[in-house]
Amino acid sequence: MKQKKQIIVLVVLVAAGALVWGFQWRGQTPSVPPGVLFQDYELLAVPNPQIHWQELERAQKTEYKSNGRNPFSIVAAPTPDKIPVANTRKPPKGPPAPPPTPPPPTEAHLPGNLKFFGFGTVGNGAPRLAFFYDGEDEYIVSEGDTLLGRYRILKIGNTNLQFQEISTGLPGTTPLDEQAAPPSV
């Protein structure tokens, strides 16, 4: 019985909404009649609509000469008397030497907030599991698994963990950090 009442109330509300919408729609008229827009349309007053080839060639041959002003900035360019003179010595001949490139990294490192705080096994013959903590989440991975989608775990030892960064192939080692264990519940 309760469901029948709900359906009846729904039908009454839909009918009332349709009536209100219909009265609102009927009362509105467009502000500009559709035909008025095109009645008094006048073409642009162009004396000769042909392409002016001479003017086009002249415009293509002109060379841009800047006066120092940036057309995309509202700030005016400084005048020559306001520009400071930095150095009057002549620069050395030849291109400047590029800065030395740093040597490529030889070892991968885990993110600073990620700590290896222990290891364990589930049963006899099961692979070792490594436990990581980043301050909020805990991660449990075994040898051969990926950590954070960036590091492949190679070997889980008693005092350290060997891993490889997947994107570069660089090996890395991180020690067991017993102080990084998450608080126990």
Q: What is the pLDDT of residue 76?
A: 74
Q: What is the pLDDT of residue 91?
A: 62
Domains defined for the chain, CATH in brackets: 115-180 (2.30.30)
Lowest mean pLDDT among 30-34, 165-169, 172-176: 30-34
Lowest mean pLDDT among 24-28, 31-35, 51-55: 31-35
Who wins on pLDDT, 97 or 154?
Answer: 154
Query: Per-residue b/e over 154-177, b at no fewer than 16 CB within 10 Å?
Result: eebeeeebebbbeeeeeebbbebe
3-state secondary structure 77-127: CCCHHHCCCCCCCCCCCCCCCCCCCCCCCCCCCCCCCCEEEEEECCCCCCC
Which stretch of DSSP H or E encloses residue 154? Answer: strand 151-156
Which stretch of DSSP H or E encloses residue 53? Answer: helix 53-61
Q: What is the pLDDT of residue 87?
A: 61
CB atoms within 10 A of CB 10: 10
Residues 76-111 have pLDDT tens digits of 776 777 766 666 666 667 777 788 888 877 788 788
Arithmetic mean of pLDDT, 66-75: 77
Q: How confident is the model at residue 9 (pLDDT cuts 50, 70, 90)?
A: very high
Can you tell me the distance from the alpha carbon of 39 to that of 37, in angstroms, rounded to the nearest whole number? 6
Place of tokens 């729609």: 25
Residue 16 scores a pLDDT above 80: yes
Residue 150 scores a pLDDT above 60: yes
Q: What is the pLDDT of residue 14?
A: 95
Who wins on pLDDT, 85 or 58?
Answer: 58
